[in-house]
Structures are given as C-alpha cells and as structure tokens.
Amino acid sequence: MRWSKLFIPTLREAPADAEAASHNLLLRGGFMRQLYAGHYSMLPLGMRVHEKIADIVRAEVDHIGAQEFQLPTMHPAALWQQSGRLEIMGDEMFRLADRKGTELVLGVTEEEVFATLALELNSYKQLPQIWYQIHTKFRDEPRPKSGLLRVREFAMKDSYSFDLDEAGLDASFDLHHGAYVRIFDRLSLPAVPVEASSGAMGGSGSVEFMVPSDAGEDDVVRCTGCGYAANIERATSRLADIEDDAGPDSPERFATPDVRTIVALEEMQGGAPADRQIKTMVMVVDGEVTLALVRGDHQLNVQKLLDATGAIEARPALPEETVESLGANPGSLGAVGVALRIVADHTLAGRTSMTTGANEDDWHYRGVSVERDIAVTEWTDLREVSAGEPCPNCDRPLEIVRCIEAGHIFKLGRKYAEALGAAVLDPNGKTQTPIMGSYGIGIGRAMAAIVETHHDERGIAWPVAVAPYEAVITIASMKDQAGVDAAELMYSQLRSAGIDVVLDDRDARAGVKFADAELVGIPYRITVGKALADGEVEVTVRATRETERVPVGDVVERVVGVITAQR
C-alpha cells in the first residue's frame, strides 16, 4: 500500500480523557475513533492489527482441534432465564424487545447458545468437542474507560469444550492452557497464568492470564521465589500462628466511649491489638443480612465472600439496616449471641480471648471465644492478602502487581448443559450430561495490552506478528527522482517476497514521515535519502531506534530475513 492512499488520521495530541498509554496511542496513531463512551470504530490500521491478533488466536485453537462457529449476537431472554443467569448478569446485560414484545438480550458470553447446539450430540462417541467463535459481545459497563481495556462492545474469542467426564475436561482444559501460552508468546505478551475466581460464570479450575501493567485493573499476588501466582480474589498466604490465653468463662462487657475503629481500640487503655480483635462487617448478600468476620488487622475481599456463598451480589448494609439488625452503629458491632447468617474467615477458628463489639454503642466484649460465643454458619477464606505476607508454598514475601487480564479459562462443570437439557449416552448406554469448559480471549483487549507493553515516548512499537505493516519505505524527498525510483523497486521486491510493506510516498517533510512511522509503530523503516549517494539506505528498528546503513542491493534480503524470523 501507498501511504498517500491510506486513511491514517494521526493526531499530535490525544483527547484529555485518554489516560492509558494504549488509549492515547491508538487514538493518536489513527487506529480507532470513539463513537461514544465504550464504543469504538476500528479504522484501517486498527483493523489490520485486530485481525492479525484474531488470526493468531484462531490458528492456535484450530491447532488443538477446535471448530469455528458464528452465533447470533441477539439472544432470547428466555434462554438466559432457563440457565438461571438472566438475573445474575443484572445491569451488565443490554436488554430490549422486538415489535412483538419478545424479550431479547445482547450476548455477553455464549455458554447458553453453545449448550443449545449441544442438544444435537447424542453419543459419547461424538465427544470430546471444542467449539468456538470470534464475535462481537456487549456489556453495559457503567464506567467505560481506558480505551479498549474497558468497553461496552468488543470482539472476543470464546471457546467451549464438551466432554463425557472430569478426566476429559481436564484434558481439554490442559489443551487450552497450552494454546493460550503459545498465543501470548506469539503476541509478545508477558502473560502469567494465575489462579482466579470464575465469578458470575460459575465453575472451578479457573486460571487467568495476566499481563503486568499499570493500566490494569486487577491485582495479582505473586511469589518471586517459587512462582506462586493468584488473583487477589483467590490468593492466600501463610500466617504465623497466634497463641491465645484461655480467657474467662464468658465474655466481659466493657465501656469504649467514642471508640469506632480498630486502631482506636488498639490505642485505648485496656484495649486490644488488631490481631486480637474481630472485625464485623454487616453485608447484604443476595438480600440477606449476613455478618462477615475477619481478624482486626485483615481486610474482607468481597469476591471471596461471593464465591464462598455462591451469591450473585453482596454490598455493605446501609446504616439503618445495620441498626435494625444489630441495634448499634458501626464501630460497636459484633457477632456474639447473634442469630444471623455468619461467615467467618479461617484465621478466627479456635481463637480465644478476642475483643469485639457488644452491639451497643460505646461498648465492647473482651475474652470472646469464637467457637464458644459465636454461632458461625460457614468457615471460609475471606481475607485479602497483603504484600509482604509469606508465600503459602515457600514462605518468601509475596508481592502485589497490577495487571491486565488478557485471557481466562475455567471448568464450567455440568451447570449449563444440564439447564439446557444436553445429554449423551455413555459406553454403558446410560444417559449422561456432558461436562463443559469455557475459554475466553478479548481481541481488542489483547491489542491494548500489546500497546501497553510495547511503546515509548514516540509511539507504539508493534511486534512484527501483529504490526499493521511489517516495514515502511520512507522516501525522504519526493523531489529526488533517484530516491523515488530506488524506493519503488524495493517496494515491489518486498511485496513479491511476501512482506507486508507500505511505501510512504507523501509529499511531506522527512521529519513528519519519521514521526508518523514511529507513532504508528511499524517495526522496520527503510529510509531512502542522502545515503543513496553512497549506494546505501538506512534501516531503523522501531523497538530499539537503532539505525544501520545497508547497501541497496542487500536491503531486501536483509529485511526479509529479519521479518520472517519474527513472524
């Protein structure tokens, strides 16, 4: 292609709200334009990158035996009602009705639709199956931001495996895990597989592929010693045991005037250190007032509460709900003698001589034995891991890294197949429900993640495999006929060699052309300029900005070699 014929509307400055580097540079480089919040038009350069990423994803999932489908974007709401997820998805789902009044939704994900197609499977001999599509999804994100990292409309590869039993699911899961490792390697993304929560999708065996980046919205806990890594929603650590006194035979009530925080109770005379306090949080979990208990020096992770209870929604109780349920305001709350649902963190198990609120303003209990005085409904992991805590595997200090979620794979189980009525006959002629896995990669999100990890102050530095063009030939002056002729010949030769090349034939200053090539991030630039008088051209590597003079007769072979090696 010739730059003079391309639509590449570069900008010197990006909009003020473009905070993430990828948002800024994809707008400035003319890769995309915002239609309105969370919805972007992909321009020609952006489309080329987007499709190259999709092709890499497609090639690797095809390699493990996946078959590509194209499913409708609009689904009957009744289908989601049948699976039980119409309410779970809540306001995240776009909803509408047709002229006949039929309730419809725009697809967020495809478990339900693929499960209906699995109704045509009838024998174990047809399993395993891996089905996928790369298609547009919709999510009514309340606060779209950071360009392609948080949007309402996006292209996604989602694949689903159908197996007869857990062993088959394990095999399909492992196939996808390997495919994802290869995909992110080919995309030049340093994605780390970490333990994760399945969230509203349900299931188990959840692994996210996380790319370290300040632009991310997820925290990953990792150990630099043994390689342990988990999303903060699943992470654990090894804490030192605490020795408690036996304490009194029953809790002792004592006055705590104006004490409303863990720290204030630590500092008051006769108080207690944070690790000997019980922090009581009043939560409304799927409409039910629930007490969540953690140690005073720990924080509640709400996703862990949701996962442990199987709930759809959990929120802090309103002040009036708290007073109605416990009779006191925050700061004096506790679970002693309370007949509500109580979910407690494992670190409180067996603890004695603890201090907690007495459910009367300005009063607390000391000498509380958790198992004796509190009727815990469920014991689980509720606390959020903090940086510096010991690794659960090797005891080295853990670190917390901000990351972009680039992919997610998890074992769905039989929930959706069962809800939609999918069944096959096993080798004994017995009816069995297939077991499913789900595996997703956001194409646009991967595009943004690549920019976040491959850019500098001058623009994007695309890896060859996904670059809009692999090389650009820049003619320093269109008035130099010898230069124009040499560039045209190289352009023809590179195209014939299969190189994705663009010829910058614009009648513009060389500095403008150089700046545009660096902004849009084309990996190799061949500059035809003053060096031509010595029979040479300049070859510049975008990622390093290193420039080398190469004889005109050698440049095509040289560029073809380095680009081919990086595909």
36-91 pLDDT tens trace: 999 999 999 999 999 999 999 999 999 999 999 999 999 999 999 999 999 888 88
The Cα 162–Cα 67 span in angstroms is: 12
What is the pLDDT confidence band of residue 445, given thresholds at 50, 70 and 90?
very high
Measured distance CA(228)–CA(194) in Å, rounded: 8
What does the alpha-carbon distance between residue 194 and residue 174 come to, in Å, rounded to a whole number? 14
Task: Look at residue 226 in the predicted model and tell me its pLDDT.
Answer: 93
Q: How far apart are CA 250 and CA 172, in angstroms?
A: 55
Torsion 377-383-389-390 (CA) sign: positive
Residues in CB range of 210: below 8 A, 6 or more apart: 191, 192, 193, 194, 216, 218, 220, 229, 231, 403, 404, 405, 406
Instruction: Enter the tokens of residue 406.
Output: 């680039």
Taking Cα atoms as reference points, which of 151, 240, 146, 228 lies closest to residue 195? 228
Q: Measured in Å, how far apart are the chain's first and last C-alpha atoms?
A: 20
Residue type, 50: H
Neighbours of 57 (CB within 10 A): 25
**Which residue has tokens 């014991």?**
379
Q: How far apart are CA 139 and CA 116, in angstroms?
A: 22
| Domains within the chain, CATH numbers bracketed | 21-235+400-452 (3.30.930.10), 252-380 (3.90.960.10), 469-566 (3.40.50.800)
Burial (Cβ within 10 Å: 0-12, 13-18, ≥19) of residue 497: middle
Position 9 scores a pLDDT of 97
pLDDT at residue 87, as a whole number:
87
pLDDT bucket at 310, cuts 50 / 70 / 90: confident
Strands (E) in 83-172, as ranges, are 95-97, 103-106, 129-138, 153-163
d(CA 365, CA 337): 12
Question: What count of other Cβ atoms lies within 10 Å of the Cβ of residue 171?
Answer: 14
Query: Coil, helix or strand for 277?
Result: strand
DSSP 42: E
Three-class SS of residue 358?
strand
Among 104-113, 197-206, 476-485, 554-563, whose mean pLDDT is lowest?
197-206
88: DSSP letter: H
What crossing angle do the helices spanning 552-566 and 481-496 adopt, rounded to 10°?
A: 40
* pLDDT, tens digit, 9 for 90 and up, residues 80-128: 999 999 988 888 999 999 999 999 999 999 999 999 999 999 999 999 9
Composition of the chain by helix, strand, coil, percent to 5? 30, 30, 35
How far is residue 215's CA from residue 448's CA, in Å, rounded to a whole number?
10
Q: What does the alpha-carbon distance between residue 117 and residue 280 come to, in Å, rounded to a whole number? A: 47
Provide the phi-psi class of 474: left if phi over 0, else alpha when psi is between -120 and 50, else beta: beta
Which structure tokens are listed for 421? Answer: 């009525």
Q: What is the DSSP letter of 385?
A: P
What's residue 25's pLDDT? 97
Q: How many CB atoms lie within 10 A of CB 1?
A: 15
- Residue 200 pLDDT level (bands cut at 50, 70, 90): low
At 501, list the tokens.
Answer: 């090349």
For residue 437 the two structure tokens come to 């896995």
Residue 64 structure tokens: 């493990």
- Beta strand 192-195 with 153-163 is unpaired
464 residue type, one letter: V
461-514 confidence digits (pLDDT tens)? 999 999 999 999 999 999 999 999 999 999 999 999 999 999 999 999 999 999
Which long-range contacts link 550-554 to residues 24+ away (Cβ below 8 Å)? Answer: 552/486, 552/490
Compute the distance between CA of residue 269 and CA of residue 112 in angstroms, rounded to an integer.
Answer: 59
Q: Is 208 strand, coil or helix?
A: strand
What is the C-alpha to C-alpha distance for residues 140 and 201, in angstroms, rounded to an integer?
A: 16
**Start-end of H helices in 412-566:** 415-420, 443-453, 481-496, 510-520, 552-566
Question: Per-residue pLDDT for 276 more than 90?
Answer: yes
The structure's pTM equals 0.91
Q: Which two tokens stand for residue 105?
A: 């939704």
Name the nearest CA neighbour of 350 among 364, 337, 368: 368
Least reliable range by pLDDT among 137-151, 189-203, 437-451, 480-494: 189-203
**Mean pLDDT for the chain?**
95
Beta strands in 67-198 (DSSP E): 67-68, 74-76, 95-97, 103-106, 129-138, 153-163, 192-195
- Stretch 264-268: mean pLDDT: 95
pLDDT digits (tens, 9 = 90+) for 514-548: 999 999 999 999 999 999 999 999 999 999 999 99
Query: 505, 1 in Cβ contact below 8 A?
Result: no
The model's confidence at residue 199, banded by pLDDT at 50, 70 and 90, is low
pLDDT at 32 over 90: yes
Residues in the chain: 567
Residue 20 has pLDDT above 80, yes or no: yes
Rounded CA separation 346/201 (Å): 26
To which H or E segment does residue 553 belong?
helix 552-566
Tokens of 328: 């006191």
Q: Cα-atom radius of gyration of the chain, to the nearest Å?
A: 29
Give pLDDT, residue 198: 65
Nearest to 296 by CA among 223, 368, 234: 368
| φ/ψ (deg, to 5) at 324 | -65, -35
Biggest distance spanned by C-alpha atoms of the chain: 99
- Secondary structure (3-state) at 315: strand
**Positive or negative torsion for Cα 463, 467, 469, 472:** negative
